[in-house]
Amino acid sequence: MVQIQRTILLISLLFGINAGAKTLPYKMSCDISKPYHRVEQLHQAVITVSRNNNICRVSVESTTGESLLDESAYGIQVSQVIPFGQPLQDSIVIQIDGNPDTVYVVSLGRHPSISATIKNGYGFWLQDGCTPKRWYLWTADAAFQNDPELIDIYHFGLIVPEVALDLANGKLVDVTPLCKPLFDSRIAQIKKQLLPKRLSQFKKRVGSTESRNRTKGELLSIAFAYLYTGRSNEARKVVEDFWPNDKRDEIFNWMSHKRAKGITSNLSQ
């Protein structure tokens, strides 16, 4: 189920927020489908990824022999070396597939170390496109995973808010508001598809169920983009302009509550 959700998420994002941005491919990747063994020395760290008895394993050691990480899972991915965090430092990101997924940010300085760890119900990826020459760690907010309010729109893609993270002072921080231009490009694309007739039918609860569900998904994508980039007033306006009158408060309170309980609430813990 985790792999299915990751595949759906990737397909959705390739045609969504990733438009105009580049996703960094993995340097090392292991899953249970094929044999795998690879050893890389990256600066002062040695990373080994291998598959044995249908289980993948990753180990990270300093060149002096200190063990930094040793994990096993059905899937493991290791990023290329990138400048990451504030201040910038050469790092790698290691994802351990599971339920939830776990990501380790490993700094590759003179003394390699694990800079940060985070868990989430959706997978992670490294993407640019927000600020010049910067990579951020992206994921989707698992607070919305399997939410009943979203069940009727799954047919049109996985509509879940995306979040961009950076490393500052040894902690992962939410930098999604820095990505407003990227989200605004996506909002503009969606608005071109939202014909006045469909918007009117959605608000009045008329027309086909399929059409209303599609419209709901597109409107939620816009509202989520505004809300997660720090523009709650704009998000509320989307809800107030297009949802039926008796659903306005419920929908806006629902998405605000989910965000408050979601991945960004765990960053300081």
pLDDT of 158 reads: 72
Q: How confident is the model at residue 15 (pLDDT cuts 50, 70, 90)?
A: very low
pLDDT of 1 reads: 36
* Residue that is written with structure tokens 């419920």 in the block: 250
**Mean pLDDT computed over 256-268:** 89
pLDDT of 4 reads: 35
**Mean pLDDT computed over 208-217:** 93
Instruction: For residues 153 and 158, give the distance between their C-alpha atoms in angstroms, rounded to a whole number.
Output: 8
Task: Provide the Cα torsion 238, 243, 249, 251; round to 10°.
Answer: -80
pLDDT of 7 reads: 39
132 - beta bridge partners?
Answer: none
Instruction: For residues 162 and 20, give the distance between their C-alpha atoms in angstroms, rounded to a whole number.
Output: 15
CA 96 to centroid of chain Cα atoms: 15
pLDDT of 133 reads: 87
Q: How confident is the model at residue 159 (pLDDT cuts 50, 70, 90)?
A: confident
Residue 50 contacts residue 60 (beta carbons within 8 Å): no
Residue 42 contacts residue 22 (beta carbons within 8 Å): no
Closest of 58, 61, 6 to residue 29, by C-alpha:
58
% of the chain at pLDDT higher than 70: 90
Q: How confident is the model at residue 212 (pLDDT cuts 50, 70, 90)?
A: very high
pLDDT of 17 reads: 52
Lowest mean pLDDT among 15-19, 69-73, 74-78: 15-19
What backbone phi and psi angles, to 5 degrees, belong to 83?
-75, 125
Alpha-carbon torsion 15, 225, 7, 164, what sign?
Answer: positive
Q: How confident is the model at residue 79 (pLDDT cuts 50, 70, 90)?
A: very high
Where do the domains of the chain lie? 181-266
% of the chain at pLDDT higher than 90: 78
CA 151 to centroid of chain Cα atoms: 19
pLDDT of residue 161 exceeding 90, the answer is yes
pLDDT of 57 reads: 96
Could you tell me the pTM of the whole model? Answer: 0.89
How many other C-beta atoms can be found within 10 angstroms of the C-beta atom of residue 250?
Answer: 13
Angle subtended at Cα 215 by Cα 210 and Cα 219, rounded to the nearest 5 degrees:
150
Lowest mean pLDDT among 5-14, 107-116, 118-127, 253-262: 5-14
Instruction: For residues 195 and 217, give the distance between their C-alpha atoms in angstroms, rounded to a whole number.
Output: 14
pLDDT of 249 reads: 96
Residue 33 contacts residue 39 (beta carbons within 8 Å): no
Instruction: For residues 163 and 140, give the distance between their C-alpha atoms in angstroms, rounded to a whole number.
Output: 6
**Mean pLDDT computed over 142-156:** 83
Q: How confident is the model at residue 204 (pLDDT cuts 50, 70, 90)?
A: very high
Residues 6+ apart with CB under 8 A from 172: 105, 116, 118, 137, 165, 166, 267
Angle between helices 248-261 and 209-228 (to 10 degrees): 50
Q: What mean pLDDT value characterizes the chain?
A: 89
**Mean pLDDT computed over 74-98:** 94
Q: Locate 219 and state its tokens.
A: 């409107």
Residue 103 contacts residue 137 (beta carbons within 8 Å): yes
Lowest mean pLDDT among 9-23, 94-108, 235-249: 9-23
Decide which of 153 and 167 is more confident.
Answer: 167
